[in-house]
Homo-oligomer: A and B are copies of this chain.
Amino acid sequence: MRSSRLVSKKHKEKPAEAQLISHIFLLRGGYVRPVANGIYSLLMPAKRIQSKIIDIIREEMDKIDGQEIQMPITLPRELWDESGRWDGVEAELLRFQDRSNHDMLLAMTHEEAVVALARTEVTSYKDYPFMLYQFQTKFRDEARSRGGLVRVREFVMKDAYSFHTSQADLDNYYNACAKAYHNIFRRCGIPEVVSIQSDSGKMGGKVAHEYQLLTDSGEDKVVVCEKCKTYANNEVAICSFKTEPEVILDLETFETPNVKTIEELEKFTGQPATKMAKMVFYTTEKGETVGVIVRGDVEVNECKLGKILQSEFMFASDDEVLKTGAIPGFASGIGLKCRVLVDYSVANGYNMICGANREGYHMNNFNVARDIPHAEIVDIATVKTGDICSKCGAELTIKRGIEVGNIFKLGTRYSKAMNMTYTDDKGQEQTPIMGCYGIGIGRLLASVCEVRNDAYGPIWPLSIAPWQVQLCAMKLDKPEIVEAAESIYADLQNAGVEILYDDRNLTAGVQFAEADLTGIPLRLIVAPRALAQGMIEYKIRGTNETGLIPLNEVTSFVQNWIQQEMEKYK
Contact = CB atoms under 8 A, between A and B. Distances in A.
A143 B102 CA distance: 12
Interface string A43-54: 110111011000
9 shortest interchain CB distances as A-B pairs: A96-B96, A36-B76, A42-B70, A91-B99, A44-B67, A41-B71, A99-B141, A9-B121, A39-B72
A405 to B, nearest CB: 21
A563 interface: no
A36 B104 contact: yes
A66 to B, nearest CB: 10
A121 B27 CA distance: 12
A43 B121 contact: yes
Contacts of A40: 72
Contacts of A41: 69-72, 113, 117
Interface string A499-515: 00000000000000000
Nearest to A114: B41
Interface in A83-111: 91-92, 94, 96, 98-100, 102, 104, 106
Interface in A121-156: 121-122, 126-127, 130, 132, 134, 137, 139, 141, 143, 153-154, 156
A4 B130 CA distance: 10
A33 to B, nearest CB: 6
A5 interface: yes
Chain multiplicity (copies):
2
A118 B7 CA distance: 8
Given A67-B7, A99-B143, A120 B36 contact: no
Task: Tell which of A9, A67, A76, A104 has the most Cβ of chain B within 10 Å.
Answer: A67
A36 B121 contact: no
- Of A7, A39, A76, chain B has the most CB atoms within 10 Å of the CB of A7
Contacts of A5: 65, 67, 127, 130
A183 interface: no
A42 B30 contact: no
A8 interface: yes
A121 B6 CA distance: 10
A371 interface: no
B70 A47 contact: yes
A74 interface: yes
A116 interface: yes
Nearest to A79: B35
Interface string A213-254: 000000000000000000000000000000000000000000
Nearest to A106: B74
Main secondary structure on A side of the interface with B: mixed
A68 interface: yes
A36 B112 CA distance: 13
A73 interface: yes
B4 A127 contact: yes
A4 B98 contact: no
Nearest to A77: B36
A482 interface: no
A75 interface: yes
Given A43-B69, A127-B7, A30 B121 contact: yes
A469 to B, nearest CB: 18
Nearest to A123: B9
A73 B75 contact: no
Taking each of A30, A39, A74, A118, which has the highest tally of chain B beta carbons within 10 Å of its own beta carbon? A74
A505 B549 CA distance: 60
Given A7-B127, A42-B71, 6 more contacts: A36-B75, A41-B69, A42-B70, A70-B156, A92-B99, A99-B141
A68 B67 CA distance: 26
Residue of A30, A36, A92 with most chain B CB atoms under a 10 A cut-off: A36
Contacts of A99: 91-92, 94, 141, 143
A44 to B, nearest CB: 4
B9 A120 contact: yes
A130 B69 contact: no
Residue of A4, A71, A102 contacting most chain B CB atoms (<10 Å): A71
A132 B8 CA distance: 11
Contacts of A120: 9, 33
A551 to B, nearest CB: 28
A33 B137 contact: no
A7 B94 CA distance: 30
Contacts of A92: 99
A169 to B, nearest CB: 14
B154 A74 contact: yes
B35 A75 contact: yes
Contacts of A30: 121
Nearest to A32: B70
Nearest to A112: B35
Given A35-B76, A74-B139, A7 B130 contact: yes
Contacts of A143: 99
Contacts of A76: 35-36, 39
A74 B104 CA distance: 15
Given A4-B127, A7-B122, A116 B35 contact: yes
Nearest to A131: B7
B72 A35 contact: yes
